[in-house]
Amino acid sequence: MKVDGKQIRPIWLDNDNVVNVIDQRKLPHALEVMTLTSVDEVIYAIQEMVVRGAPLIGVTGAYGVVVALETTTDQDMFRKACQRIKDSRPTAVNLAWAVERMLDNISYQNPAQERLAQAREQAGRIAGLEVDNCRRIGEHGAKLIADISKRKNNAAVNILTHCNAGWLACIEYGTATAPIYMAHKMGIDVHVWVDETRPLNQGARLTAWELGKQTVKHTLITDNAGGYLMQKKMVDMVIVGTDRSTYTGDVANKIGTYLKALAARDNDLPFYVALPSSTFDWQLTDGLKQIPIEERDPDEVRYIHGLAKTGVEKVLLTAKDSPALNPAFDITPAHLVTGFITERGICPANETAIVELFPEKR
């Protein structure tokens, strides 16, 4: 996407097999690039959320496999490195999907240089596929927004989103934001309510910044404001992303998503989940019982980062010894989801409809 007139992606691989990433911890106050030259650095970037968001974590994993090949000639060590990358964050299924896809396409029979070329090509293909998928998600989802706009006689369509499922999380366009960017480009009047998304504030820091750079109208709200705005008829629809969804329709997404789905149902509002097929888990049937939910450091709840006179500072919010719990994701059950917006079209959140869109997964 363009930022201040310059085309940029959150990740790219250079000719020396060095992975370049935007350091998302620094946004919106600084746009800095970090280079990853070892498997440990790739894992650090994923775990510390230098990179984050399901499709981007997947692509980072794919480029991480290239780095592993570049830095290891021993097959056993290479496999162990890939396993470590795969295990570096548990919830987003794209990570395992991308690493496995890489391994399926690298042949150890080939000489090292050829293997590396194969890996580079495959990682590029995965990145390209996600870009393409997000573009299609945008095209399908924009029709939903256009319908609401028509019903409202072209008055602004108010869309609520949670966390950051934008281009920063997905290479280009985003998942939840793709329909919004597309509708905006089509000249539809859209306005986005951006949940701040505690504890790491991906909405406040990333989504609001992204939308601003694309000149999409938006307003930042606290995580608790959405229900009230829905009751006051100030929201027309909700679109969120997901880190893993079962093929039966249960959705894991950033903590707090479930509460928005409940509020949307109580207010009769459509609640859509936008995702590429790489985010479906084709093995699991029960999201609440089976999707692993990452529990992160309680200090992410106790502290907050912000811009002070002297630069970005970390500030303690609570009493030093206040106990805190930090589940990073929650599960929205299928029955609260109006539909999935995928690269192949829109479908209800149930097994029959999902498998009909992706018959090869049957």
Give the residues lining the site for ligand MRU (CB under 6 A): 52-54, 163-165, 169-170, 175, 202, 240-243, 253-254, 328
Nearest approach, Cβ of residue 74 and ligand MRU (Å): 31
Nearest approach, Cβ of residue 128 and ligand MRU (Å): 17
Confirm if 338 and 273 have CB atoms less than 8 A apart: no
Nearest approach, Cβ of residue 260 and ligand MRU (Å): 11
Whichever of 300 and 356 has its CB closer to ligand MRU, that residue is 300
Note if 243 is an active site residue. Answer: yes
Considering the candidates 236, 243, 250, 330, report the single residue annotated as catalytic.
Answer: 243
Nearest approach, Cβ of residue 298 and ligand MRU (Å): 15
Residue 107 main-chain phi, psi, to 5 deg: -105, 120
- How wide is the angle at C-alpha 89 spanned by C-alphas 16 and 205, nearest 5°? 80
Whichever of 90 and 346 has its CB closer to ligand MRU, that residue is 90
Whichever of 114 and 295 has its CB closer to ligand MRU, that residue is 295
Whichever of 248 and 332 has its CB closer to ligand MRU, that residue is 332
Nearest approach, Cβ of residue 289 and ligand MRU (Å): 20
Whichever of 90 and 144 has its CB closer to ligand MRU, that residue is 90
Tell me which residues are annotated as active site.
243
